Structure 1
Amino acid sequence: MPASEYEKMAAGEWYCCLDDELDRLRQQARRAVHAHNTLPPDERGAVAPALRALFAGAAPDIFIEAPFHCSYGINIVLGERVYFNAGCTILDSGRVTVGDRTMFGPGVQIYCAEHHKDPALRSQGIEIARPVSIGSDVWIGGAAAILGGVTIGDGAIVGAGAVVTRDVPAGTTVVGNPARPMNRL
């Protein structure tokens, strides 16, 4: 029996995102995101309970400013004292793992889905999910974009507006589009 589209997505295989089960999972995420983004701050706290419950894993001391968006939530794992500033988006068709004490500036985007290059298959919703792994003590500057399949090592810095298309070694600062290591002064 063929695997479900969800099972294919989770396995990192090509799958069809135009699937009823995946649509139900995205709808569940929309409800949790809506609760987080619309609750008054004193009721929401650091993260709305519905959003926290959606995540695959979240330390008790994470903080997510509103607005926030994720496509599934069930593929997100957040370590201790992770902080997301306002306007961050995680399109988590693949696993997104964030280490302890990592901070995201406003408007950071993480994109795990890669749509098919063949226009006929792309129009049918065929895509593949690539994981993103971000280490501990990382700073991601505002409006940076991180593409699927990328690993960012511990202590790295991603400059504001950078587009990260390949791995960033631990302790490295990258800037630009595509992101490249900064020249030493």
Structure 2
Amino acid sequence: MIDSEEKMKMLTEQEYFPSNKQLQQERMHAKTICHQFNQLPPTDVKAGMKLLKGLFGQSRYFWIEPQFYCDYGYNISIGKGFYANHGCVILDAAPVSIGDDVLLAPGVLISTATHPLDPQKRRKGIEIAHPITIGNNVWVGMGAKILPGVTIGNNAVIGAGAVVTKNVEADVVVAGVPAVPIN
């Protein structure tokens, strides 16, 4: 039996070793499905969505354009009407919860994983992951990056190229590096 202690640490915001055999196998499974999805002809939409629904473990209506990449898939929860344009990356070591009618422009990166500030821990290969929550009716602009532990409120807009390092209130537009309110 494969040891699941590191997976439990990962899912409970504790320091963990991503080099753990189980986690490596789970990432390889997700990478294989993403590769299959990304290689499909554009006319084979049904097969692509079926692959991703199996990866995410849900059957809601959503649309993701290739190229798409994720770490595990099972930590991604997508609301109805979700759309991700080309080049979306979701690094889902912790849960990523995305509400209804969320739009991601090309090149959006959502990452729950981070590394310790302590260089000795980094050398050992330790990581930690914090959940990300995106509310309903959110639009994330081209090339934006959403960092670990962030919550984005309903109806928010994230400007193109923004780096979101802190929570975003509902009905707010943010932009910049780091992202700050602009409305």
TM-score of Structure 1 vs Structure 2, range by shorter chain: over 0.9
| 2:138 pairs with 1:158 | no
Q: Distance in 2 between matches of 1:3 and 1:24?
A: 12
Report how many residues are paired. Answer: 181
Closer, same or farther in 2 for the Cα pair 1:17/1:166, shift >3 Å? same
Question: Partner residue of 1:129?
Answer: 129
What RMSD over aligned residues (CA atoms) do the two structures have, in Å?
A: 1.5
Partner of 1:50: 51
Matched residue SS, 2:120: helix
Runs ≥4 in structure 1, deviation > 6 angstroms?
none
Cα distance in 2 for partners of 1:25, 1:98 equals 21
Distance in structure 2 (CA, Å) of the matches to 1:46 and 1:146: 29
List aligned pairs for 1:13-162, cutoff 5 A.
Answer: 13-45=14-46, 47-59=48-60, 61-162=61-162
Normalising by structure 1, we get a TM-score of 0.93
- CA deviation vs aligned residue, 1:21-58 (integer Å, no higher than 9, x gap): 00000000011101110111222338432222111445
List per-residue Cα deviations over 1:131-172 (Å, max 9, x = no partner): 000000000000000001000000000000000000000000
Structure-2 change in CA distance of 1:47 and 1:102 (3 Å): farther
Deviates more, 1:50-59 or 1:121-130: 50-59
1:128 aligned partner, one-letter code: I
- Aligned twin of 2:169: 169
Q: Give the counterpart letter for 2:26 in structure 1.
A: L
Q: Which amino acid aligns with 1:11?
A: T
Q: Distance in 1 between matches of 2:93 and 2:87?
A: 19
Equivalent residues of 2:136, 2:153 under 8 A apart: yes
Unaligned runs of 5+ in 2: none
Distance 2:11 2:145 in 1: 22
Identity of paired residues, percent? 43
Matched residue SS, 1:73: coil
2:135 touches 2:154 (CA, 8 Å); kept in 1?
Answer: yes
Matched-pair contact (CA < 8 Å) for 1:36–1:44? no
Distance 2:57 2:94 in 1: 12
Q: Corresponding residue for 1:9?
A: 10
TM value normalised by structure 2: 0.94
Which one-letter code corresponds to 2:161 in the other structure? G
Q: Which ranges of structure 1 fall in alignment gaps of 5 or more residues?
A: none
Letter in 2 for 1:172: V
Q: For residue 180 of structure 2, what is the aligned residue in structure 1?
A: 180
Q: Is the 8 A contact 1:104 1:141 kept in 2?
A: yes
